[in-house]
Amino acid sequence: MRITDIEITPIAVQDPPLLNSEGVHQTHALRSIIKVTTSNGLVGWGETYGDDVMLHWLRAVAPRLDGVDVFDLNHIESIVDDELLTNADSITTDLPAGAGYPMANAASVKTRAAVFSAFEVPCLDLQGKSLGRPVSDLLGGRRRDRVEYSAYLFYKWAEHPQKPYPADSWGEVLTPEAMVEECRRMVSEYGFQSIKLKGGVLPPAQEIETVRALRAEFPDLPVRIDPNAAWTADVAIAVGQHLDGELEYLEDPVSGTRAMAEVARRVSMPLATNMCVTSFPDIPEAVREGAPQVILSDHHFWGGLRKSVELDQLCATFGLKLSMHSNTHLGISLAAMTHFGAVARSLAYSCDTHTPWQTENIIVPSEELTFKNGSVAVPTGPGLGVEVDEDAVAALHEQWRTCGVRTRDDVSPMRAVDPAWTGDVPRFFTL
């Protein structure tokens, strides 16, 4: 079953002004939609980052996949490697290397893994469609029928400072009380059974207060906090000790595996990461240091769904646990995340998802991918089990053409409000 056509469509979706340690989300988040057609007329779908640099590499690789068999994933990977290694200088800007995009330059393992993943997922969708089996079957078969996600809470502004973007329906969230309200709505609309708080925004003592307010209001729901390395090791240890017994894990309080291990030795809860262990070469140091103990998988940057299964196996071997990272994403990614979540044996926590923050989508709503009690059913139809709404893709492509956002940049919109803002971490040096 050979590839006869690949269409890469950049799209932009409206995004609320969510705050994090780097700054604030822009008015629009970018995604690329990948449509792969084969000689027998089947169509496979993928979704990944939409920044200009990613688009450059997707467009450079796509023509080289013409005529390649969709089952020959190792060959596709070697084409991606060759393209990026040979032409690393063909674009000067690197993919952004912040919390959401742990990639360095074109030749790096991480960037190559991200580009390969963008083609691997639609090929798996096609393999599944040709065999009449869901992607989870191709990954070894599901261990669970539903995958649990957590309420992903953000401090946020009421609206983007840039006009004329309308305010979203969530309002301003900068106090513990407002965060409890945000959580109440998310839990009532999606049924989430656990809570992730994006921290690194307010002084750590205020974020501790927020965690406590959430725990008081939702005593049965485990809580985790992720300040994206905004704290020094001393602050992280102090926060960890204050919240002793109150967090299911502490995610990326500091940057770098050694600093994470230093914190892990002084706090009781496990440490988790999507910042310091983001590719296979990062694993030996984490195993040597004994921390972080939880890795947030993300097929978009770990090299696809099959590589995520390899990560799962390594976690099982070394006694690490898996959780799952998300960036702003739409339904094709949610389906892919859910297929992996279904098969991962080391998955010990509910996964992250940005779904509640998006008001636009590109898939036809389905019963399976609708949240119930905080989880979604693993699609059982062939391939990823999603039907893409191509009119919605076209409309969001038009939005991409006109919105002016071309790369993820949380620093500049914050700097427009606070000219001294750098987005540098650590930013909080005392509790």
Residues that bind ligand GKR (CB under 6 A): 18, 20, 99-100, 198, 226, 228, 274, 325-328, 352
Let me know: does 51 contact 87? Beta carbons within 8 Å.
no
* CA pair distance 29, 328, nearest whole angstrom: 7
State the SS3 of 331-386: HHHHHHHHHHHHHCCCECCCECCCHHHCCCCCECCCCCCCCECCEEECCCCCECCC
Nearer to ligand GKR, 207 or 352 (CB): 352
In this structure, which amino acid lies at residue 385?
G
* CA pair distance 378, 80, nearest whole angstrom: 29
Tell me which residue has its CB nearest to ligand GKR: 100
Told to judge if 325 belongs to the known catalytic residues of this protein, a careful annotator would answer: yes
Let me know: does 248 contact 225? Beta carbons within 8 Å.
no
> Which contiguous run of DSSP H or E holds residue 297?
strand 294-297
Selection from Mg ion, ligand GKR, none that 198 binds (CB < 5 to 8 A by kind) is: ligand GKR
Nearest approach, Cβ of 279 to Mg ion (angstroms)? 15
Count Cβ atoms within 10 A of the Cβ of residue 2 and give its class: 0-12 exposed, 13-18 middle, 19 or more buried: middle
Nearer to ligand GKR, 123 or 225 (CB): 225
Nearest approach, Cβ of 228 to Mg ion (angstroms)? 6
Told to judge if 242 belongs to the known catalytic residues of this protein, a careful annotator would answer: no
Selection from Mg ion, ligand GKR, none that 18 binds (CB < 5 to 8 A by kind) is: ligand GKR
Selection from Mg ion, ligand GKR, none that 279 binds (CB < 5 to 8 A by kind) is: none
Nearer to Mg ion, 226 or 248 (CB): 226
CA angle in degrees (0–180, nearest 5) for 421-424-426: 120
* CA pair distance 246, 223, nearest whole angstrom: 7
Considering only 75-83, 102-110, 113-121, 246-254, which stretch makes contact with Mg ion by CB under 5 A?
Answer: 246-254
User: Does residue 353 bind Mg ion (CB under 5 A)?
Assistant: no
Write the CB contacts of 125 (distance below 8 Å, at least 6 apart in sequence): 36, 44, 45, 46, 135, 383, 384
Nearer to Mg ion, 49 or 400 (CB): 49
Catalytic one among 129, 156, 198, 339? 198
Catalytic one among 110, 307, 325, 329? 325
Q: Which of residues 271-290 bind Mg ion (CB under 5 A)?
A: 274
User: 52-61 vs 73-86: helix axis angle to the nearest 10?
Assistant: 120
Nearest approach, Cβ of 327 to ligand GKR (angstroms)? 5
| Stretch 222-241: interaction string toward Mg ion, x if CB under 5 A | ----x---------------
Considering only 121-129, 176-184, 268-276, 419-427, which stretch makes contact with Mg ion by CB under 5 A?
Answer: 268-276
- Active site amino acids: 198, 325
Interface residues toward Mg ion, by CB under 5 A: 226, 251, 274
